[in-house]
Structure 1
Amino acid sequence: MALQTPSHSGVGDLLSYASHAPLPAGTLVRVPLGRREVLGVVWDAEEATGELPDGATLRALTGVLEGVAPLDAHWRRLVAFAARYYQRALGEVALAALPPQLRDLQPEQLARRLRRPAKETGKAGKVGTTEELGDPQNAIQNIALSAEQESARARISAEKGPFLLFGSTGSGKTEVYLRCVQEMLEADATAQALVMVPEINLTPQLEERFVGRFAPRFGAGAVVSLHSGMTNPQRLKSWLAAHSGAARIVLGTRMAVFASLPGLKLIVVDEEHDPSYKQQEGARYSARDLAIWRGREQGAKVLLGSATPSLESWHASRPPTPEDPEGGRYVRLHMPSRIGAGALARVRRVDMNQQPRRAVFSAPLLQAITERVARGEQSMVLLNRRGYAPVLHCVDCGWKSDCPHCSAHQVFHKTDRTLRCHHCGFTVRVPAHCPSCGSPDIHPWAGAPNSWKNNWPPCYATCNALTATPPA
Structure 2
Amino acid sequence: MSKRVILSVAVPAPLYQSFDYLPPGGVNPALLLPGSRLEVPFGRRHCVGILLSVKTDSEFSGSLKAAIRLLDAQPVLDLLMCRLLDWTAAYYHHPIGEVYAAALPVKLRRAKSVGEKKQSVWQLTDAGLQADPDALKRSPRQRAILLTLQQHQKKSDSGMNREQLDQLGGDWRSAIKKLIQLDWVCKSTRLSTNTAATSTDGATNTEPVTAATDKQLTLNSHQQMAVQSMQQGLGQFQVSLLYGVTGSGKTEVYLQTIARVLEQGQQALVLVPEIGLTPQLVARFRQRFGPIVDVLHSGLNDTERFSGWQRASSGQARIIIGTRSAVFTPLPEPGIIIVDEEHDGSLKQMEGLRYSARDLAIMRARLSNIPVLLGSATPSLESYHNASRGRYRLLHLPARAGGALHPTMHLLDVRAQSMDEGISWPLLQSIQKHLDKGGQVLLFLNRRGYAPTLLCHDCGWVAHCQRCDSHMTIHHKAQRIRCHHCGAENRLPANCPECNSDAMRPVGQGTERTETALQKHFPNHRILRIDRDTTQRRGQMDALLKQAESGEADILIGTQLLAKGHHFPNVTLVGILNSDQGLFSVDFRASERMAQQVLQVAGRAGRADKPGEVIIQTHSPEHPLLHTLVQQDYDQIARTLLQEREEVKLPPYSHIALLRAEATQAEHPQTFLQQAAKEIAGYTNKVETFGPVPAPMERRAGRYRYQLLIQADERNSLHNLLNAVIPKLSTLTPAKRVRWSLDIDPVDSY
TM-score category, normalised to shorter length: 0.7 to 0.9
Shift, 1:373, TM fit:
5.7
Cα distance change of structure 1 residues 74 and 351 upon mapping to structure 2, 3 Å threshold: same
- Pick closer, same or farther for the CA change 1:61–1:166 going to 2, 3 Å: same
Q: Which residue of 2 aligns with 1:93?
A: 99
Between the aligned partners of 1:247 and 1:396, the Cα distance in structure 2 is 46
Distance in structure 2 (CA, Å) of the matches to 1:404 and 1:299: 50
* Aligned residue identity for 1:164: L
Matched, 1:352 2:414: yes
Asked if 1:63 corresponds to 2:69, the answer is yes
Taking a change above 3 Å as real, the CA distance of residues 14 and 329 of structure 1, as seen in their structure-2 partners, is farther
Q: Which residue of 2 is the match for residue 249 of structure 1?
A: 319
Aligned residue pair count: 414
Q: CA deviation at 1:114?
A: 5.2
The equivalent position to 2:463 in structure 1, one of 370, 387, 392, is 392
Aligned pair in 2 of structure 1 residues 425, 179: CA closer, same or farther (>3 Å)? same
Aligned match of 1:26: 35
Please state if 1:316 is matched with 2:390: no
- 1:65 touches 1:110 (CA, 8 Å); kept in 2? no
Identity of aligned residues (%): 36
Tell me whether 1:52 sits opposite 2:60 in the alignment: yes
Structure 1 window deviating more from structure 2 (297-306 vs 380-389): it is 380-389
Cα distance in 2 between the residues matched to 1:40 and 1:243 = 19
Among 170, 178, 194, which residue is 2:269 paired with?
194
RCO higher in structure (CA 8 A, sep ≥6): 1
Length-normalised TM-score, structure 2: 0.49
Q: What does residue 50 of structure 2 align with?
A: 41
Determine if the alignment matches structure 1 residue 74 to structure 2 residue 144.
Answer: no
List runs of 5+ in structure 1 lacking aligned partners.
319-326, 412-421, 434-443, 447-459
CA root-mean-square deviation? 4.1
Is 1:15–2:20 an aligned residue pair? yes
Once the two structures are superposed, residues 32-75 of structure 1 have per-residue CA deviations (whole angstroms, 9 ceiling, x without a partner) of 222322111111347x973431xx32222222223443522211
**SS of the residue aligned with 2:411?**
coil
How far residue 170 of structure 1 moved from its aligned partner, in angstroms, is: 1.5
Instruction: Report the Cα offset of residue 339 of structure 1.
Output: 1.7
Note closer, same or farther for the CA distance 1:203–1:17 as it changes in structure 2 (3 Å cut).
farther
Cα distance, 1:155–1:63 mapped onto 2, change above 3 Å = same
After the TM superposition, which residues 173-188 of structure 1 pair with which residues of structure 2 at under 5 Å, given as runs?
173-187=250-264
Q: Tell me, what secondary structure is at the counterpart of 2:9?
A: coil
CA contact (8 A) 1:69 1:244 kept: no
Counterpart CA distance in 2 for 1:297 and 1:423 is 51
Whether contact under 8 Å (2:22, 2:67) holds in the other structure is: yes
Q: Secondary structure, in 3 states, of the residue corresponding to 2:367? A: helix
Structure 1 residues 374, 5: CA separation in 2 closer, same or farther (over 3 Å shift)? Answer: closer
* Match in the other structure for 2:147: none
Inter-CA distance 205–15: structure 2 relative to 1 (3 Å threshold): farther
Secondary structure of 2:49's counterpart equals: strand
- What displacement does 1:202 show? 1.9
User: What secondary structure does 2:66 align onto?
Assistant: coil
Residue correspondence of structure 1 range 69-468 to structure 2 within 5 A: 69-106=75-112, 109-111=115-117, 121-125=200-204, 127-129=205-207, 141-159=215-233, 161-187=238-264, 189=265, 191-215=266-290, 220=291, 222-318=292-388, 327-353=389-415, 355=417, 361-362=423-424, 364-372=426-434, 375=437, 379=441, 381-385=443-447, 386-387=450-451, 389=453, 392-393=463-464, 408-409=480-481, 427-429=494-496, 431=498, 461-462=577-578
SS at match of 1:183: helix
- Say whether residues 1:2 and 2:6 are aligned partners: no
**Residue deviations 1:404-443 (CA, integer Å, cap 9, x gap):** 99783279xxxxxxxxxx998754347469xxxxxxxxxx
Q: TM-score normalized by structure 1?
A: 0.75
Higher strand share: 2
Secondary structure of 1:29's counterpart equals strand
Contact kept? 1:29, 1:40, Cα under 8 Å: yes
* Distance (whole Å) between structure 1 residues aligned to residue 28 and residue 452 of structure 2: 67
Q: Could you say what secondary structure the match of 1:428 adopts?
A: coil
Is the CA contact (8 Å cut-off) linking 2:271 and 2:324 kept in structure 1? yes
Conserved in 2, the CA contact under 8 Å of 1:267 and 1:302? yes
AA in 1 matched with 2:46: E
- Which residues of structure 2 form unaligned runs of 5+? 1-7, 119-191, 455-461, 484-488, 501-506, 510-575, 581-597, 606-611, 616-750
Whole-Å separation in 2 of the counterparts to 1:223 and 1:302: 19
CA offset digits 1:167-189 (Å, max 9, x no partner)? 111111111111111111212x2
Query: Which deviates the most, 384-393 or 145-154?
Result: 384-393
